[in-house]
Structure 1
Amino acid sequence: MVQRVTFAIFLTITSGLVLVAAYGNQGSNSSVDKVLGRWDITVQAADGTRYPSWLEVTRDSDKLAGRFVGRVGSQRPVKSIEFKDGQLIFSLPVQYERQNSDLKFEARLVGDRLEGTTLAPDGKTLRWTAVRAPALAGSSRPKWGQPIQLFNGRDLSGWKLRNPNGPNGWSVVDGVLVNTPRSTDLITEQEFKDFKLHIEFSIAEKSNSGIYLRGRYEIQVEDGAGREPDSRGIGGVYGFIAPTSNPAKKANEWQTFDITLIGRRLTVALNGKTIIDNVEIDGITGGALDSNEGAPGPIMLQGDHGKISFRSIVITPAL
């Protein structure tokens, strides 16, 4: 009996030591839970402007793991991450950033909000904040309103430049909206929450562009006929969701997207074939207008990558 009790005590102590070892570098299990999930980030740039980013923190066995989306580019895995004594520290390799070493972020958990710093390419300290990304549960059976013609075929009424002082390569030629790069992105003056979008486009040879839903989620547009489906290829949610097939036509031919976005659930048809079917979008993509995922947003056409034309852009909002 004494031997059994002694052995039980030994197992209890040993198990406790294993748990302490597993989470010793991460803080207690309950404290780690406070940072798990998706975070919408806003960074205060050195020039006084703000730009969005995104972070997801997960638990991989006994360690933390993560994914990150920066100002531009696609989502990438976090290289190292830890949370201890209320402080979150993580780093990741550069992608398109003009820096020679890993990007490093530090933040403290203040209530249900992260407040921290990172370094700009010139070494200046940038401040950033993060709030929890909303679930965005949409209606399973939305009621649809009346279709709205976003492009009238005559001029740019209802549209504005993302950067009013930037280059404007957008024009209307014979009823077609044409972009001659490099140009500032073009965004609708109206904002939308849940909707169906029909858009007809023609992409030039070796060119690429993008259609941003709510100004935050990029559907990639490129000269991609015959390529294997990829999250960074035509019809993909850039860096997040790969299409199931690629029915793209050749460059300079007219093509169609029919897109339905309800909450985070996305369906995309390219040239009449469904290539993404009711899939959840995890977070914002690089180049997004902001990280305020809970708010309505505009349709944005990417203008700084390549030549593209549009001849019909019709949106049907949910009521």
Structure 2
Amino acid sequence: MKRSTSTVLAFVTFTVIGSCASAQDDPKATEQWEPVPRVVTPGAKDHAPPSDAVVLFDGRDLAGWEASKDHSPARWKVHDGVVTVDKTSGNIQTRRRFRDYQLHLEWQIPKDITGEGQGRGNSGLFLASTGPGDEGYEIQIMDSFENKTYVNGQAASIYKQAAPLVNAARRPGEWQTYDVVWTAPVFAADGSVKSPAYVTLFHNGVLVQNHTELAGETFYIGKPKYKAYADAPIKLQAHGDHSQPISFRNIWVRPLD
């Protein structure tokens, strides 16, 4: 039997509408089964490294670190499961280089710290070290418990760029944590910025930088600016102030690229 064109169109339209209605009513239509995420075993405690982490400091030695100025072995003092800044040795950085990552780091200001402002327990976490000195992208480390200074230079600030959302500092002598998600900048072949760097930071479990966009590298004098790089070490600063040195422990990183 010969069907009219209008009959065929009506049949097709009814079939399509029926299929759409069926898909909308079927919860399985929006289920995704592949690819299956790989298994990562969390640490036994919240601060412990998960199974896919690269442990940068485990309390025993600085085998994974080097002096930033000349790439010689790092000479900060390792004792009692922690490492303490040695200002005479300068900054240290990881031997391994990274791009995007998740980082956990714990730090402690001495209980009997003296001084004020920027001279009261000063160090820095450089998320990407692009030179032997203080070049790179810095999160400030210092005593910000009842210690006034410029807000884009207090603890958990992106130094000279972005103040933390809140001040979550603990008292000197207590251990503090940084949990960082670092999204490295991407550069074009000519060195121009294709996409900027971003930082998310939790200080002692409190969100203090929420996917903050960086304007470039850290500078003590002058505005931040970008310099093209592919990958870079993570650096800890030996600041030149006269206060007692800061200690670190339990440092691990999960590469995300």
Q: TM-score, normalised by structure 1?
A: 0.51
CA distance in 2, matches of 1:203, 1:162: 23
Matches within 5 A, 1:144-163: 146-163=52-69
Q: CA deviation at 1:297?
A: 0.8
Q: CA deviation at 1:152?
A: 2.8
The aligned counterpart of 1:176 is: 82
| 1:300 aligns with one of 225, 235, 238 | 235
| 2:105 aligns with one of 199, 202, 209 | 199
Query: Which has the greater radius of gyration?
Result: 2
- 1:39-68 C-alpha deviation (Å, 9 max, x unpaired): xxxxxxxxxxxxxxxxxxxxxxxxxxxxxx
| 1:234 aligns with one of 138, 143, 155 | 155
Confirm or deny: 8 A CA contact 2:62 2:74 kept in the other structure.
Answer: no
Confirm or deny: 8 A CA contact 1:167 1:184 kept in the other structure.
Answer: no
CA distance in 2, matches of 1:181, 1:167: 15
- 1:63-121 C-alpha deviation (Å, 9 max, x unpaired): xxxxxxxxxxxxxxxxxxxxxxxxxxxxxxxxxxxxxxxxxxxxxxxxxxxxxxxxxxx
Q: CA RMSD in A?
A: 2.8
Structure 1 stretch displaced more, 292-301 or 241-250: 292-301
The residue identity in structure 2 corresponding to 1:234 is: A
Matched, 1:218 2:138: yes
| 1:164 aligns with one of 54, 60, 70 | 70
The answer for unaligned runs of 5 or more in structure 1 is 1-142
Confirm or deny: 8 A CA contact 1:222 1:233 kept in the other structure.
Answer: yes
The residue identity in structure 2 corresponding to 1:222 is: M
The residue identity in structure 2 corresponding to 1:317 is: P
The aligned counterpart of 2:181 is: 260
Q: Which has the higher contact order (CA 8 A, sep 6+)?
A: 2
Distance change in 2, residues 1:286/1:183 (3 Å)? farther
Q: Which has the higher strand share?
A: 1
CA distance in 2, matches of 1:198, 1:192: 14
Confirm or deny: 8 A CA contact 2:215 2:226 kept in the other structure.
Answer: no
CA distance in 2, matches of 1:214, 1:164: 17
Q: Please state whether the residue corresponding to 1:149 is helix, strand or coil.
A: strand
Q: TM-score, normalised by structure 2?
A: 0.62
The answer for unaligned runs of 5 or more in structure 2 is 1-37, 41-50, 114-119, 130-135, 185-196
The residue identity in structure 2 corresponding to 1:304 is: H
The aligned counterpart of 1:317 is: 255
Distance change in 2, residues 1:310/1:244 (3 Å)? same
Q: Please state whether the residue corresponding to 1:199 is helix, strand or coil.
A: strand
Distance change in 2, residues 1:235/1:168 (3 Å)? same
| 2:204 aligns with one of 271, 274, 278 | 271
CA distance in 1, matches of 2:73, 2:238: 10
Confirm or deny: 8 A CA contact 2:67 2:75 kept in the other structure.
Answer: no
Confirm or deny: 8 A CA contact 2:67 2:89 kept in the other structure.
Answer: no
The aligned counterpart of 2:215 is: 282
CA distance in 1, matches of 2:178, 2:200: 10
Confirm or deny: 8 A CA contact 2:122 2:239 kept in the other structure.
Answer: no
